[in-house]
Structure 1
């Protein structure tokens, strides 16, 4: 019998539609405006009495609180009115004072029964949900200097192994200067070093006493170092952002020395800056012996012990770059520590250094690059001048009891939060060069809400125009096409929610385009049915021929568009990818609804029945 599906096809379509309804439902429950209270670096502590006073003061200011939720690291205060968010944040910040971060937030309100089915709303992009936008600048000169200092350390080790005497080493601009006792030692050192460092230009220096050697990086080597620095920083920042658990962040290069970081949904800018902008790294060095020449030692203060210092060797055993994994834990006395695993090269270097220095102290040097900002007047305009500086302090000084390998631990940390942050920074990788915040912008949830309203309005207008056209053009069959269109929208939203795709303003444009394209399949089918009717076929035969013969054209047209969407996704960034995602998913769902769902509706309504005239 024509125009009849087997039972399993109806059941399959019904199952797909039911799953789509369930997983699209969370999007009907809007996020609640909220204020989040967290710690500004230390352990979080906010007693119940103080929290009760905060609630009372908010109530006195006519700020309607929906609920208060507390966990180990923060307090979330849900509000009923988004217009109260800023006032509530300011009041709480003033009441709590320093030591706390009070940030705007949006809290999910998905019912528990939907959450038990792993159903959650679509992730919203920065332009819809709000969040933070950072423009970071990479210090290229510091990248070159750091590479030269590493090279200088390797050179000193090589010269000591070959018993070639040198007096001091200095890094100046893009060069390394070394002094020797005589020209013979210098020439021997030059021949040895040039074999390991061919990317340097060598020149002899005249000295009043002894002889000098200058080693300067070539322009090609400098460019290579700078490219490596920004690419390594991109990788490290992506790892850090992933550790933060931000959905669909944007981390991309902008120009020769800048990186853009966008974190949708993050309103706690202090926490984001602490992790994203931290340029902390570690160096493991031996403590200097009393008879070590001053030119080979450096003195550093302890991080949290005022007045205490130690002399360390200038040579570095390993840096944080050799860390393959790091996790926070606690020692037998309940004090925080960081367990570290090294890669193969780092483990070998650590073992080589410690097995010959048992009984000697080894220090963990914490290095952090920061900037001081001051405002100056230039040509009558205020300009922010940033002065970079580096803080180095010892966080641990322990005696080597036995040869160390790939695993050991760092103690002497102040708090579990400090240990967790240090472990995260080491685990995600160190920065190849310091970065500074050139621009910081926070997009509030209220602006995102306006964009969502406008986006929904555009979808409604586009949908209504399509619905009106189909009803006017195809009458009863237009109703079937519109029902299939509604199913298509439900399935598209459900697919984006299930896949965790991020919805942005360009993504909404993709949905509007999908609504227009979704009826293309039905237009092709219905026009083919009209043609078959004009050739004299019966109603049932025309319907069967229309669906069967239009499938090839439908698949061909949609696959072509799908390939374009995939290309856009592969080569595009940010907004272009958001558009490509919704367009791709929309093509797949529209093919399903246009071919299978609409035919199922036709089969159920008139399939197999004697029909003399079709309202099409």
Structure 2
């Protein structure tokens, strides 16, 4: 065990150099780092929300709104499919979470039911029919359609996952560094944006659904009809922000949706007012071009989250797949809308459940408290080891401990893992665990020396026979950290991540580094007795 193998020397040397290179940027001012060559590492520890301040938001995904949206689309799908096959029907409506209708011709009830089973909904592996919509026949030539429970649960889960990815893209575009976005429970999302000084802007960008559609205006409906609520089937009245009309009636079926946008930018219109330019993908370009070619002289509405931004007249076919959205924009609001459209729409609205702001001063206090507690823990361990095992062996364990701490900081800087206040607690715990391995080794050395073995044999036995206990203790710690990381959130995961890194570095330093230093001492001093 105490042989000074070349591979041990190379590995320890490389590890120390790695630790110094990746720890050093955390000790230097940014101006000094900027003057370093590009090939040198410059990553610093990424401090969490509790250490540098920032914004904390908890959202709940509105799965009820998602379900209503899907039922609304199902109504339109049923209408389109049956009209396409010229099957007469009536009383089509959404009632208590189901879609109900009555087939006019009794002889076509079975045909209509089979047609809808094949045509509406989406494929779903867990369903007997193979689709996520069930179609049931009722009395008096009626059909009832509903989403199967498993599909509804899957939709809600996918909506949360998709919302997390959309939120991440939006926050990344804002330039917020390393946001911590996690799922909490079945339908909640927690956002911790460290260093974000404007939580209201963050909330405005994150929480906006940004569902964009292009829908034809139904000009057959007069303002009097809108006021009286006389809206034709297949159309809906939407409020307007274009300053010309308070509301428009538009066709429910969208010509093109924002899902097919590939780019959007803040720009300016012909009068120099802020606007948003957009560009469709190939499929969207064809749909938009065909729709505008068929409806020259008519108006279409640009709808964002259920409100009409503008309703321009189509003067000619728009075949290039690009256009511009005008409205009552400021430069900032146009930039924010372009950002939202680029990052994609949220699948369902988000409701703010909790909002907190952590000030930078509070974070600085936490950093100070963490640094003091770490320093006190380190000094206590140093004093204990030197008093217990002497200046030589206690000093070797202290050197290994310093290298251990340096490797933890270097690993976290390299991976850009977020250090939180619980993470500092994990760091302190790791230091104690690392010294615990040295204690096991040294105590075993003492036992072997008391049994009459020579110093070299006692030292060798101390390392070899303590290894089983050291590995067992650290594996159980690693399992516990893995469970906390898998099932925990926020600070708990930060603690688990720091602890996991510390398990590997502490075993490495307490065993290999200590072994190498003690081996060098034996070669140089050739002692007759262990000074321990």
Q: Do the two structures share a fold, i.e. TM-score over 0.5?
A: yes
Q: Pick from 317, 328, 336 the counterpart of residue 265 of structure 2.
A: 328
SS in structure 1 at match of 2:530: coil
Confirm whether residue 269 of structure 1 aligns to residue 204 of structure 2. no
Match for residue 26 of structure 1?
A: 25
Confirm whether residue 524 of structure 1 aligns to residue 440 of structure 2. yes
Q: Given that residues 366 and 421 in structure 2 are in contact (C-alpha distance below 8 angstroms), is that contact kept between their aligned partners in structure 1? A: yes
Correspondence 1:119-518 to 2 at 5 A: 119-164=42-87, 170-171=93-94, 173-176=96-99, 187=109, 191=113, 192-193=115-116, 196-197=119-120, 198-199=133-134, 215=144, 217=146, 220=149, 226-227=156-157, 229-244=159-174, 245-254=176-185, 257-288=187-218, 295=232, 296-298=234-236, 303-307=241-245, 312-320=250-258, 322-323=259-260, 325-328=262-265, 337-342=276-281, 350=287, 354=291, 357=294, 359=296, 363=300, 365-368=302-305, 391-394=307-310, 398=314, 401=317, 408-412=322-326, 414=329, 417-475=332-390, 476-518=392-434
Q: Given that residues 282 and 366 in structure 1 are in contact (C-alpha distance below 8 angstroms), is that contact kept between their aligned partners in structure 2? A: yes
Structure 1 position 16, deviation (Å): 2.6
Question: Which structure has greater strand proportion?
Answer: 1
Provide the C-alpha distance between the structure 1 equivalents of 2:8 and 2:147, rounded to a whole number of angstroms: 70
The answer to which of 449-458 and 468-477 deviates more is 449-458
Provide the C-alpha distance between the structure 1 equivalents of 2:301 and 2:167, rounded to a whole number of angstroms: 23
Match for residue 34 of structure 2?
A: 112
Provide the C-alpha distance between the structure 2 equivalents of 1:444 and 1:503, rounded to a whole number of angstroms: 17
SS in structure 1 at match of 2:294: coil
Q: Are the structure 2 counterparts of residues 203 and 110 from structure 1 closer, same or farther at C-alpha, using a change threshold of 3 Å?
A: farther
TM-superposition CA deviations, 1:83-102 (whole Å, max 9, x none): xxxxxxxxxxxxxxxxxxxx
SS in structure 2 at match of 1:119: coil
Provide the C-alpha distance between the structure 1 equivalents of 2:503 and 2:311, rounded to a whole number of angstroms: 57
Provide the C-alpha distance between the structure 2 equivalents of 1:396 and 1:533, rounded to a whole number of angstroms: 93
Provide the C-alpha distance between the structure 2 equivalents of 1:394 and 1:332, rounded to a whole number of angstroms: 14
The answer to which of 501-510 and 423-432 deviates more is 423-432
Please, which runs of 5 or more residues in structure 2 have no aligned partner? 121-132, 223-229
Provide the C-alpha distance between the structure 1 equivalents of 2:10 and 2:153, rounded to a whole number of angstroms: 62
SS in structure 2 at match of 1:430: coil
Question: Which structure has greater helix proportion?
Answer: 2
Q: Relative CO higher for 1 or 2, CA cutoff 8 Å, sep ≥ 6?
A: 2
Superposition RMSD in Å:
4.1
SS in structure 2 at match of 1:439: strand
Q: Given that residues 261 and 278 in structure 2 are in contact (C-alpha distance below 8 angstroms), is that contact kept between their aligned partners in structure 1? A: no
The number of aligned residues is: 504
Provide the C-alpha distance between the structure 1 equivalents of 2:45 and 2:341, rounded to a whole number of angstroms: 32
SS in structure 1 at match of 2:526: coil
SS in structure 2 at match of 1:607: helix
Structure 1 position 150, deviation (Å): 1.0
Structure 1 position 175, deviation (Å): 4.6
Q: Given that residues 81 and 119 in structure 2 are in contact (C-alpha distance below 8 angstroms), is that contact kept between their aligned partners in structure 1? A: no
Please, which runs of 5 or more residues in structure 1 have no aligned partner? 31-107, 206-211, 369-389
SS in structure 1 at match of 2:317: coil
Match for residue 125 of structure 2?
A: none
Provide the C-alpha distance between the structure 1 equivalents of 2:417 and 2:278, rounded to a whole number of angstroms: 35
Q: Given that residues 114 and 120 in structure 1 are in contact (C-alpha distance below 8 angstroms), is that contact kept between their aligned partners in structure 2? A: no
Q: Pick from 475, 484, 494 the counterpart of residue 578 of structure 1.
A: 494
Structure 1 position 500, deviation (Å): 0.6
Q: Are the structure 2 counterparts of residues 362 and 173 from structure 1 closer, same or farther at C-alpha, using a change threshold of 3 Å?
A: farther
Structure 1 position 477, deviation (Å): 0.6
TM-superposition CA deviations, 1:239-288 (whole Å, max 9, x none): 4344444414133234x654333222222112211211111211122344
SS in structure 2 at match of 1:612: coil
SS in structure 1 at match of 2:336: helix
Match for residue 130 of structure 2?
A: none
Match for residue 596 of structure 1?
A: 512
Structure 1 position 145, deviation (Å): 2.1
Q: Given that residues 200 and 218 in structure 1 are in contact (C-alpha distance below 8 angstroms), is that contact kept between their aligned partners in structure 2? A: no
